[in-house]
Amino acid sequence: MARDPGRAAARERLSRTSVPQKEPERPSRLRIWVKRRRSLLWPAIYGTLGFGAIAVVVLAVRAVDPAGRVRSIAESFSGVGDGLGLEVQQVILEGRRNTPTDMIRAALGVSRGDPMLEFSPEAARARIETIAWVQQAHVERRLPGTILVRIDERRPFAIWQNGGRFVIIDREGRVVASDGLDQFGPLPLLVGTGADTAGAALHDMLRRQPDVAERVQAMVRIHERRWNLRLHNGADVLLPEGAEPAAIDRLAELQREAKLLDRPLAAIDLRLPDRLVLRPTRQAEPAEAPAQQQQATRARRG
């Protein structure tokens, strides 16, 4: 039987239209972006790795032989870093309140434009910690061009008077400032040799008795052994050596019961545990009568 050419052509067209044709996949926007910028990404990655490798090599060389035969190698690597833009661009300072910025700048020893790889964070930290205000310092180098300085300052605790000189000290007795004393607000006054290192303990004892503490003008160290409390009204409270807490508690009790600290007294002696000695202020002597003055004058002339 002969095949019908028209029917065979119709079946072929039907088979073509019944099978779905797969559309070509369109690349995503991210793939297109990466493909277009691939030529730029690889140089940046290689450059970053190169900076890190140079820094590691320089630090390793200096750690092994900081001043020996390989010093010229380290310097040549530093020169490469300069060519790649590893220069100091900014210094970030954190934690500063009272430390003069010019002192920190001088101790840091670096200026904008200096080579980053020539800067030693450890040496700079040691120099900054020699400043009186600085208790602890942290110096960090952040490539390509930032130096971070973080300091913990000593806190002003008291004014110490000794030998006619007034300075600001911290709780450990370290001098942190010798001028501008009024800018730190009201601070306890310590007087005498040894008061700088022993004053914090007595100050903490007084804080437990506010009625006594608010009337104290100065804490005076006597012969580096014991304390006197100079009150605002001019009276002196003589504390016993080594028994200050009990004496201060006793003084607070006397203030509550008899307002002892508000009386016109020259001294309150608490050095004896079983005895309280009060010394009144010196009264003015009464004026002599005119007749008595004349008689005294004649007797001196005679």
What's the pLDDT score for residue 68?
A: 46
For residue 248, the one-letter residue type is I
Contact criterion met (CB below 8 Å) for 263 and 231: no
Contact criterion met (CB below 8 Å) for 110 and 119: yes
- Taking each helix axis as running N to C, give the angle between helix 101-108 and helix 121-128, from 0 to 180 degrees, rounded to the nearest 10: 140
In order along its 302 residues, the chain shows pLDDT tens digits of: 455 555 555 555 545 544 455 555 555 665 665 555 555 555 555 455 554 554 544 455 455 555 444 344 334 444 444 545 689 999 999 999 999 999 999 999 999 999 999 999 999 999 999 999 999 999 999 999 999 999 999 999 999 999 999 999 999 999 999 988 888 889 999 999 999 999 999 999 999 999 999 999 999 999 999 999 999 999 999 999 999 999 999 999 999 999 999 999 999 999 998 899 999 987 534 444 444 445 444 544 44
3-state helix/strand/coil string of the chain: CCCCHHHHHHHHHHHHHHCCCCCCCCCCHHHHHHHHHHHHHHHHHHHHHHHHHHHHHHHHHHHHCCCCCCHHHHHHHHHHHHHCCCECCEEEEECCCCCCHHHHHHHHCCCCCCEHHHCCHHHHHHHHCCCCCEEEEEEEEECCCEEEEEEEECCCCEEEEECCEEEEECCCCCEEECCCHHHHCCCCEEECCCHHHHHHHHHHHHHCCHHHHCCEEEEEEECCCEEEEEECCCCEEECCCCCHHHHHHHHHHHHHHHCHHHCCEEEEECCCCCCCEEEECCCCCCCCCHHHHHHHHHHHHC
What's the pLDDT score for residue 274?
A: 87
Contact criterion met (CB below 8 Å) for 153 and 134: yes
What's the pLDDT score for residue 225?
A: 96
As a whole number of angstroms, the distance between CA 122 and CA 103 comes to 17
What are 164's two structure tokens?
Answer: 């006619």
Query: Whole-model pTM?
Result: 0.64
What are 300's two structure tokens?
Answer: 């001196």
Neighbours of 64 (CB within 10 A): 10
